Amino acid sequence: MKRLSGARTRRKSKRLKLSPVPSIRLKLIFAILSLGLMGLLGRTFWLQVFQSRVLEAHAREFQTEKKRPLGTRRSILDRRGRLVALDEERYRLWAHPRYFQFPGDVSGIRRTPEEVAKKLSQLLSTSTDEILLDLGDRSSGVKLAENLNQEIAHEIRKLRISGIDLEAYPQRIYPQGALFANVVGFLDIDRRPQAGLELSLDKHLLREEKASILRRGADGTPLPDDIQPGVLNMDHLNLHLTLDTRLQEVATKELAAQVKRWDATKGVVIVMDITNGELLALASTPSYNPNSYWNYSPILFKEWSVQDLFEPGSTFKPINLALALEEGVIDPQGKVNDNGIVNVGGWSLSNWDRKPNGILDFAEVLQVSSNVGMVKIMQKLNPTDYWEWLRKLGLDDKPQTDLPGAVPGQLKAKEIFVKQPIEPAVAAFGQGFSITPLKLAQLHALIANGGKLVTPHITRGLIGDDQEYSPPLEEGRQVLSPEVTNTVLGWMETVVEKGSGQSAQVPGYRIGGKTGTAQKSKNGKSYSSKICSFVASLPIEKPRYVVLVVVDEPQKPYAYGSTVAVPVAKKVIESLLVIEKIPPSAKNNTFLSMKD
């Protein structure tokens, strides 16, 4: 018991006695806490009041993702919706070796270029050594490849290699190759338009794109607020052409074969809807592939049918006959004596075969393509009136067309034309002045449509799912009377029935036409080569289309419009009849104006 009581006494003696905390210590602690709180409040006040805009800007920058537009262009389609030009998304592959890691690697581990090159070589169809050579000893910003398609880019993404980036960019593609190169043109490697519609309609072909600015939450989810209006709206407008791919293919194939067969320099085929000026085909050769334009001479980048001038020759004779009829200097039932030669101002002018044709009616003048007959007919027209008519037809005006690079024709000054009799004389059979093939097609459309000068064009406008922007077209200007043009059109039908255009006949169809074999001047002084042409209008009972074929400088003997140009025109006409589903002509249908 004594031991137990002694132990309790010792435990009691170890207890500490509590004593009050000195007030100075409490005041010191309170002062420290108060100063800290005041510092926090001051810092908060400073950030909220004076630094709020700066901090908000930093936060916005961190939360906001801004994607700049790629600068894509609208697609170009033919009249039936087939793609002629489009933008495809392609990719550049960039490597940053200092960040190379594979999925699952521990932080801090860096893969060697050899390991990465082995994985990439299988997808890039490139050897590992070539990739390593490109990488060299650089640590970042190495371009390994470009022009990668979406499939390859997707496979590269699946590798999930850190330090490998894919940069998207648009690549202009021309699915039809050389077929439409003469009118569509191309973009260079920096996407700058260099020729054709790509150049002339550059602003219209750029899609309306806005930089997308989206705010994201902490988990990366896009936030619905602050999305700019129009960012998510897509531009679905595409440029639609009047050209038909199927007809263009036929025209290009037949023309190229004929140019090669006759060792000619170049050629063109134009198919025009005479009611509104739409071109269904504008094929020229030689051409180039816009997908690899760098392999071709720049001289091929222009469309010569609207930029080069030529003397139309006999294909202009129907136009001249229409002018003589319009002025009333000849009668539809009249005749002319072709004695084989005519002297004008000291110059002797003859027929192409230097033979006389005797007494001819005006249909026969076209059938035998009488130069002498045409000179005598046009001599009845006052030279001043003749020149004024050529001006009225717009021979020396720049044509109103959407075809890029179109140029005006060349017509002698009025004083020269009027005072020198040889000028209207040679103009009577289509020489002494120059026009483009496009202008010649427009003038024959005027003969076929009742005397209206329509605007030739190849674009219908920008068309989308629920939008359409079509350029306003000028209504055809009435130049000649329908009675006159119908009469001339009837005379042209006889050229195909029993004249130089017989090879253009298609069973069951009534077709009018005129051949031309013009001498081609060199430096305006000498005639050393030919240019062969043929123009057709169809169907005669209800004209709708004009087909023009021009072949420049055929080198082989017996090169005439009938032998060089007509075979191409016939193939194109046959395809046109099928594509446009034109029914055969009525057997008993007569051309009333022939009896005027």
Is 487 in contact with 518 (CB distance < 8 Å)?
no
What does the buried/exposed string (b/e) look like for 471-508 if buried means 16 or more CB atoms within 10 Å of the residue's CB? eeeeebeebbeeebbbbbbbbbbbbbbebbbebbbbee
**125 flagged as catalytic:** no
Q: How far apart are CA 110 and CA 108, in angstroms?
A: 6
Radius of gyration of the chain from Cα atoms?
A: 40
Residue whose pair of structure tokens reads 């240019």 in the numeric block: 531
Structural tokens at position 302:
């222009």
Is 249 in contact with 241 (CB distance < 8 Å)?
no
The alpha helices in 466-586, defined as continuous H runs, are 482-498, 566-579
Query: What 3-state DSSP class applies to 435?
Result: strand
287, 314, 533, 575: the active-site residue: 314
The residue type found at 138 is R
Q: How far apart are CA 21 and CA 39, in angstroms?
A: 27
Enumerate residues 6+ apart whose C-beta is below 8 A from 58.
Answer: none
What does the buried/exposed string (b/e) look like for 341-356 if buried means 16 or more CB atoms within 10 Å of the residue's CB? ebebeeeebebbeeee
Selection from 433, 189, 213 nearest residue 320 by Cα: 433
DSSP letters along 182-215, please?
Answer: HHH--B-TTS-B-SHHHHHTHHHHB-----EEEE
Structural tokens at position 522:
């060199």
Selection from 176, 184, 240, 264 nearest residue 549 by Cα: 264
The alpha helices in 84-216, defined as continuous H runs, are 113-124, 128-135, 150-159, 181-184, 196-200, 202-205
Mind telling me the catalytic residues? 314
